[in-house]
Structure 1
Amino acid sequence: MPASHRLLLLVLALGSVLLTALAAHHGFFWDAVLQASRHAQWYYDTRFTHLLVPEALDAGHPTLFAAALAGVWRLFGQTLPAGHWAMLPLVLGTLWQVYCLVRRFVPRAWVGPAVLLLWLDATWLTQSTLVSSDVALLFCYLLALNGLTARRPVLTLAGSLPLVLLSTRGMILWAALALTAALLGWLDENPLRAPHGRFSAAARLLGRRIWPLLPALLLAGLWLGLHYQLRGWVGYNARSQWSGNYALLGPLGILRNVALIGWRLLDQGRLLLWLSGAAALLALWRGGWRPGPTTWRLLVLWLAPALALSGAMVWYANPIGHRYYLPVLLLFALLVAHLLSELPARGLARMLTGVALLGLLSGHFWVYPDHMANGWDATLAHWPYYRLRHRFIDWLDARRIPLADVGSNFPNLYPLHQVDLNGDPRRFAPVDLRRNRYVLQSNTMNFGDAVLDSLQQRWPLLHEERVGQVYFRLYQRPSDGP
């Protein structure tokens, strides 16, 4: 490994250590409250005497991550820093997997810029500071992918086995790995060119590529079968509080999801990454360049998870978050890095790389107005949320206003202990303008347009604080009703 590569990895690793230290006392955020804290709390309290979480908490996902977090608490204490520092090995492991993947596909001189294009993605940097199963998902996926591309089946096995037990999205990503393996085998040997025995050759080739993934498929099947045996359902439960997320959409809803996925790929500064890649491709094409084996392989690596994830999610009402596409986001950045490295004009390549990097860094400032959805768990712009939330709780306590009298909304509806691990069972009330005496609203919370309009137009503003791009507002019920 060249000294410049070692220095870059050291700097990025130290940066991750610093981010972890700064975030060590941040509470659980967004979906991590359920899939990490609440599930882990169950395993911790019951001392692992139950395999499945209670049905009221069961969204259909495997719970390996939550069980592991509960184990961390048993070893090091049930504190926020224990969980955050336990994530650091996964973050650093992901850094190494990114480096190994980049080194395999771009020239040595371009490894540094390529690693930065992947590592500085706003969604990834933000997730790396959360106690989130998506960090484990990305690490396992890249580990298995490195095994496929390097033809090291042990790595593929080691990555795919835990992948399918992290969440149902891990199972979808298993399908992406299988599709990747099949398409890479096709590109490498193309058995259909053989004049005889083409189908048997294709079957043998597919088997050689995919066999390291089969134990994970068996493991996923065992878990799904056991879940069905114990609960009577897998994936979808019509009686659960999340059943609405699995409602099938009509044509317009599907088109909306397709557009939303497209925006997720462009959001948070990635628009400039796409434009840089398009400019590089145009310059290369005009110069007579045509895609070679490396380009096609990288296209496969990117398209396989994009198709698998989109094909599984586009039909349903479940909101599609930026973090769902983490492997897709990073692998597209790798494809762009490859195109930039192919440019013969070094000045143009450096300029486009700089534009792309500036775009990625700007992603933490892409915050939309109140009536537009923001991916707060995918941008470091959400960090003031933790400080402001504690300030407002202290403000309410100082005035002896019970939290039960204050309406709020996701992600601020869970018991305080499940967010902060502080032993406090109190919680805010769900927002109901006919019942709440007060409403605590923030641009980081999921308030519907009608409720937001009513608060801003009719409810007196009692207290407001803003830090960075995050604000918190406490409204008091008007004397003449909602």
Structure 2
Amino acid sequence: MPASHRLLLLLLALGSVLLTALAAHHGFFWDAVLQASRHAQWYYDTRFTHLLVPEALDAGHPALFAAALAGVWRLFGQTLPAGHWAMLPLVLGTLWQVYCLVRRFVPRAWVGPAVLLLWLDATWLTQSTLVSSDVALLFCYLLVLNGLTARRPALTLAGSLPLVLLSTRGMILWAALALTAALLGWLDENPLRAARRRAVATARLLGRRLWPLLPALLLAGLWLALHYRLRGWVGYNARSQWSGNYELLGPLGIGRNVALIGWRLLDQGRLVLWLSGAAALLALWRGGWRPGPTTWRLLVLWLAPALALSGAMVWYANPIGHRYYLPVLLLFALLVAHLLSELPARRLARPLTGVALLGLLSGHFWVYPDHLANGWDATLAHWPYYRLRHRFIGWLDTRRIPLADVGSNFPNLYPLQQVDLNGDPRRFAPVDLRRNRYVLQSNTMNFGDAVLDSLQQQWPLLHEERVGQVYFRLYQRPAAAR
């Protein structure tokens, strides 16, 4: 490994250590409250005597991540820093997997810029500071991908087994990896050779590519069968509080999801990455360049998870988050890095790379107005949320206003213990403008347009604080409605 590569990896690793230290006392955020904290607390409190979480908490996901977090708490104490520091090995492992993948597909001189294009993605950087199963998903996915591209079955096996037990999305990503293996095998065979010889050779090659993935498929099948045996359903429970997320959509809803996926791919500075890649491709094409084997392989690596994830999610009402597409986002950055490295003129490649990196860094400042949804768990812009939330809870306590009298909304509806691990069972009330005496609203919370308009136009503003791009506002019920 060149000294410049070692230095870059060291600096990025130290940056991750610093981010972890700064985030060590941040509470659980967004979906991590349920899938990490609440599930882990169940295993922690019951001392792992139950395989499944209670049905009221069961969204159909395997709970390997939550069980592992509960194990960390048993060893190091049930504290926020214990969980955050336990994520660091996964983050650093992901950094190494990124480096190994980049090194395989771009020239040595371009490894550094390519690693930065992947690592500085706003969604990834933010997830790396959360206690989130998506960090483990990405690590396992890249580990398997390195195993497939390097033809190292042990890596493929080691990554795919935990992948399918992290969440149902891990099972979708298993399908993406199987598709990747099949397409890479097809590319490795000459598609122009005689059909009979090609079919036989391709079948043998696919067998060699796919067999390390098969134990994970068996493991996923066993888990699904066991879950069905114990609960009577898999993947979807019509009686659960999340049943609305699994409603099938009509053509308009599907079209909206397709547009939303496109927005996720362009959001948070990635529009600049796409434009840089398009400019590089245009310059290459005009110069007579045509895609070679490396380009086709990178297209396969990017398209397989994009198609698998979109094909599984586009039909349903479940909101599609930026983090769902983490493998897609990073692999597209790798494809762009490859195109930039193919440019013969450095005077064009360097500015395009610099612009792309600045665009990715700008992603933490892409915050939309109140009536447009923001992916707060995919931008470091959300960090003031933790400080402001604690300030407002203290402000309410000082004035002896019970939290039960204050309406709020996701992600601020869980008991304080489940967010902050502080032993406090209190919680905010669900927002109901007919009953709440007060409403705590923030641009980081999921307030509907009608409720937001009513608060801003009819309810007196009692207290407001803003840090960075995050604000918290406490409204009081109008006197006429008391």
TM tier, smaller: over 0.9
Q: Please tell me whether the aligned partners of residues 190 and 198 of structure 2 are also in contact (alpha carbons under 8 angstroms).
A: no
- 1:256-290 Cα distance to aligned partner (Å, 9 max, x none): 00000000000000000000000000000000000
Counterpart mapping for 1:49-448 below 5 A: 49-190=49-190, 193-448=193-448
Whether contact under 8 Å (1:407, 1:439) holds in the other structure is: yes
Partner deviation per Cα, 1:296-345 (whole Å, 9 max, x = no partner):
00000000000000000000000000000000000000000000000001
Q: Hey, what's the Cα distance between the residues in 2 that align with 1:52 and 1:80?
A: 23
Q: Deviations over 1:393-431 (max 9, x none)?
A: 000000000000000000000000000000000000000
After superposition, give the CA deviation of every residue in 1:189-245 in whole Å (9 maximum; x if it has no partner): 146723534433332221111000000000000000000000000000000000000
Per-residue deviation at 1:126? 0.1
Q: Is the 8 A contact 1:191 1:201 kept in 2?
A: no
The answer for unaligned runs of 5 or more in structure 2 is: none
Query: The residue matched to 1:359 in structure 2 has which SS?
Result: helix
SS state at 2:344 partner? coil
Measure, in 2, the Cα distance between the counterparts of 1:311 and 1:349: 34
RMSD across aligned positions (CA)? 0.8
Distance 1:159 1:304 in 2: 17
Q: Tell me the residue number matched to 1:17.
A: 17
Contact conserved, 1:60 with 1:235, CA < 8 A, in 2? yes
Q: What are the Cα deviations for residues 86-128 of structure 1, in whole angstroms up to 9, with x where unaligned?
A: 0000000000000000000000000000000000000000000
Indicate the SS of the match to 2:471.
strand
Deviations 1:435-464, CA, capped at 9 Å, x for gaps = 000000000000000000000000000000
Count of aligned positions: 482
Aligned-partner SS, 1:439: strand
Name 2:40's counterpart in structure 1: 40
**Percent of aligned positions that are identical:** 94
Distance 2:322 2:442 in 1: 20
Please say if residues 140 and 163 of structure 2, whose CA atoms lie closer than 8 Å, have aligned partners that are also in contact. yes
Secondary structure, aligned partner of 2:481: coil
Q: Return 200-209 or 148-157, whichever deviates more.
A: 200-209
Tell me by how many angstroms 1:479 deviates: 1.2
What secondary structure does 1:196 align onto?
helix
Give a deviation string over 1:111-156, Cα, whole Å, max 9, x none.
Answer: 0000000000000000000000000000000000000000000000
Asked if residue 7 in structure 1 is aligned to residue 20 in structure 2, the reply is: no
For the Cα contact (< 8 Å) 1:192–1:199, is it kept in 2? Answer: no
- C-alpha contact (below 8 Å) 2:459/2:477 kept by paired residues: yes
Change in 2 beyond 3 A, CA 1:309/1:195: closer
Residues 461 and 474 of structure 1 are in contact (CA less than 8 Å); yes or no, is this contact kept in structure 2?
yes
Q: Distance in 2 between matches of 1:279 and 1:480?
A: 60
- For residue 422 of structure 1, give the secondary structure of its aligned residue in structure 2: coil
Closer, same or farther: CA 153–250 of 1 in aligned 2, 3 Å? same
User: Aligned partners of 2:200 and 2:120: how far apart in 1?
Assistant: 44
**Residues 415 and 425 of structure 1 are in contact (CA less than 8 Å); yes or no, is this contact kept in structure 2?**
yes
Q: Is the 8 A contact 2:189 2:198 kept in 1?
A: no
Distance 1:191 1:250 in 2: 38
Answer with 324-333 or 200-209: which moved more: 200-209
> 2: distance between equivalents of 1:111 and 1:376?
30
**Secondary structure of the corresponding residue to residue 200 of structure 2:** helix
Aligned counterparts of 2:195 and 2:128: Cα–Cα separation in 1: 50
C-alpha distance in 1, partners of 2:359/2:481? Answer: 47
The Cα shift of 1:61 comes to 0.3
Cα deviations by residue, 1:354-410 (Å, 9 ceiling, x for unpaired):
000000000000000000000000000000000000000000000000000000000
SS in structure 2 at match of 1:49: coil
Task: Provide the secondary structure at the position in 1 that maps to 2:441.
Answer: strand
SS in 2 for 1:315: coil
- Structure 1 residues 397 and 274: CA distance shift in structure 2, 3 A: same
1:145-203 CA-to-partner distances (Å, cap 9, x unmatched) read 00000000000000000000000000000000000000000001146723534433332
Distance change in 2, residues 1:195/1:266 (3 Å): closer
* Partners of 2:189 and 2:201 within 8 A in 1: no
CA contact (8 A) 1:26 1:80 kept: yes
CA distance in 2, matches of 1:155, 1:206: 17
Whether the aligned pair in 2 keeps the contact of 1:192 and 1:202 (CA below 8 Å) is no
Query: 2:474 is paired with a residue of what secondary structure?
Result: strand
Shift of 1:481: 1.8
Q: Secondary structure at the match of 1:302?
A: helix
CA distance in 2, matches of 1:408, 1:44: 28
Tell me the CA shift for residue 295 of structure 1: 0.3
> Retained in 2: the 8 A contact 1:407–1:429?
yes
Tell me, what secondary structure is at the counterpart of 2:196? coil
**8 Å contact 1:191–1:202 — kept in the other structure?**
no
Distance 1:86 1:390 in 2: 24
CA distance 1:466–1:195, change in 2 (3 Å): closer
Other structure's SS at 2:49 match: coil
The verdict on how the C-alpha distance between 1:423 and 1:113 changes in structure 2, with shifts beyond 3 A counting, is same
8 Å contact 2:455–2:475 — kept in the other structure? yes
Q: Distance in 2 between matches of 1:229 and 1:368?
A: 45
Distance in 1 (CA, whole Å) between partners of 2:133 and 2:481 is 43
**Distance in 2, Cα, partners of 1:282 & 1:190:** 27
Mapped to 2, the partners of 1:376 and 1:190 lie a distance apart of 46
In 1, distance between residues paired with 2:343 and 2:217?
Answer: 41
Q: Contact 2:161 / 2:219 at 8 angstroms: preserved in 1?
A: yes
Q: Which secondary structure state, in structure 2, belongs to the residue aligned with residue 377 of structure 1?
A: helix
